[in-house]
Amino acid sequence: RKEVEQDPGPFNVPEGATVAFNCTYSNSASQSFFWYRQDCRKEPKLLMSVYSSGNEDGRFTAQLNRASQYISLLIRDSKLSDSATYLCVVSGYPGGTSYGKLTFGQGTILTVHP
């Protein structure tokens, strides 16, 4: 079983749609959680961190369920510029073997069309 699993998609949605991505992780001791965005042939960049209480940044909402080891990303009112690959990322706790390292899911491809 992969440490971090995502539905690779692709997701093809019209502008204005709401789309949700899901991610599960296998290490219950994981401490930090992120969504990164990667444009085609570019480097990954942090989109947002994910907190237990849930957090929102404009049209983007991230949720974490530690009991189910599940992370989600919701994009509302999709824009053409949201087309990218979205990477679910987890990191370990201090003292653990995965501390300071990021483990990436394989990414979910999103295409927003006119």
Partner 1 sequence: DADVTQTPRNRITKTGKRIMLECSQTKGHDRMYWYRQDPGLGLRLIYYSFDVKDINKGEISDGYSVSRQAQAKFSLSLESAIPNQTALYFCATSEASIDYNEQFFGPGTRLTVL
The residue (of 62 and 107) whose beta carbon lies closer to partner 1 is 107
Cα–Cα distance, 19 to 68 (Å, whole number): 21
Q: Least Å distance between CB 36 and partner 1?
A: 9
Question: How many C-beta atoms surround the C-beta of residue 30 within 10 A?
Answer: 21
Cα–Cα distance, 19 to 2 (Å, whole number): 24
Q: Please say whether the beta carbons of 20 and 64 come within 8 A.
A: no
Q: Least Å distance between CB 45 and partner 1?
A: 7
101 forms part of the interface with partner 1 (CB under 8 A): yes
Cα–Cα distance, 13 to 22 (Å, whole number): 16
Cα–Cα distance, 79 to 114 (Å, whole number): 9
Q: Which of residues 6-65 bind partner 1 (CB under 8 A)?
A: 8, 31-32, 34, 41-46, 49
Q: Which of residues 80-99 bind partner 1 (CB under 8 A)?
A: 87, 91, 94
Q: Least Å distance between CB 105 and partner 1?
A: 6
Interacting residues with partner 1 (CB under 8 A): 4, 8, 31-32, 34, 41-46, 49, 87, 91, 94, 100-107
